Amino acid sequence: MSIVYGPVPSWRLGRSLGIDLLPAEGKTCTFDCIYCQLGRTTRPLAERADFASLEALARELEAVRGVPADYATFSGMGEPTLAANLGEAVRLARSILGLPVAVLTNSSLMPREDVRNDLAGADLVVAKVDAPNQELFQRISRPVSDCSLQDIVSAISLFRDEYIGKLGLEMMFVRANKGLAKEMAALAARLSPDEVQINTPLRESATEPLTREEIAAIREEFKGLPVRTAYEVARAPVTPLDASETSRRRPGAASPTHRGPPAGKE
């Protein structure tokens, strides 16, 4: 099993070379989101640990040096901030590949100072918030341990104040939160990200996506904010280094001709 996978054609990041520091067996995550393209969380976890060695990562990065990509992106089979060596891995990826580094996080561990410090080393952090209140947060994100939405939002705000890179805010819209777009937009305005990414589960998922028209109506509530949606951005085709390793993390994304907008992480 490899640590590096892709490149993946991403509607947010262009050609995204994936880096997955998590275990290969099942999904390791702090959440069990109702829409996740990876299915149910089989390895629920809320504490950080080392899963992949930096030595192994360095070998794989050296092997793909020069592969055409726009970002080296930490994502994969769960929540990337669970990797305790994430900060060192971010620095290693930038030094070997010479690419800007992105981290896609569900934001669950951002209340931890060590996690915010690790994320601060990335050029782009995309933090996810799918609900404007605790009750809906529990229904959609289904955290695997006690987790406060208020603490997460406060941590993103603190990170925003300290971070010199680009902050994206992903908001996944499904039937459960569709009617709260105004409240979600107000939350986004408070956090003041460089970009709001309005998503819906367009890849295979247990949750039906919203239509193009529904997402367009939601977008109207975000007037005055820098917004992109999954329906608006075309993706360049790419050829993955290993189709099986890519499809394990991004079902349906391994085909070089696949152009549809994705859901979830990338």
CB 237 within 8 A of CB 253: no
Residue type, 174: V
> What sign does the dihedral 115-119-120-126 (CA atoms) show?
negative
Q: Given this model, what pLDDT does residue 157 score?
A: 98
Q: Given this model, what pLDDT does residue 248 score?
A: 73
Q: Given this model, what pLDDT does residue 237 score?
A: 78
Contacts of 218 (CB under 8 A, 6+ apart): 173, 178, 181, 198, 210
SS3 category, 143: strand
Residue type, 170: E
Q: Given this model, what pLDDT does residue 204 score?
A: 77
- Cβ neighbours of 30 (radius 10 Å): 23
Q: Given this model, what pLDDT does residue 252 score?
A: 58
Q: How far is CA 16 from CA 67, 190, 251, in A?
A: 11, 29, 15
d(CA 130, CA 55): 36
CB 154 within 8 A of CB 111: yes
For the chain, residues with pLDDT lower than 70 are 247, 251-266
The CATH code belonging to domain 4-249 is: 3.20.20.70
Cite the beta strand spans of the chain per DSSP E.
Answer: 4-10, 14-19, 28-29, 43-44, 71-74, 101-105, 124-128, 166-172, 195-199, 227-229
d(CA 120, CA 79): 17
SS3 category, 73: strand
Q: Given this model, what pLDDT does residue 253 score?
A: 55
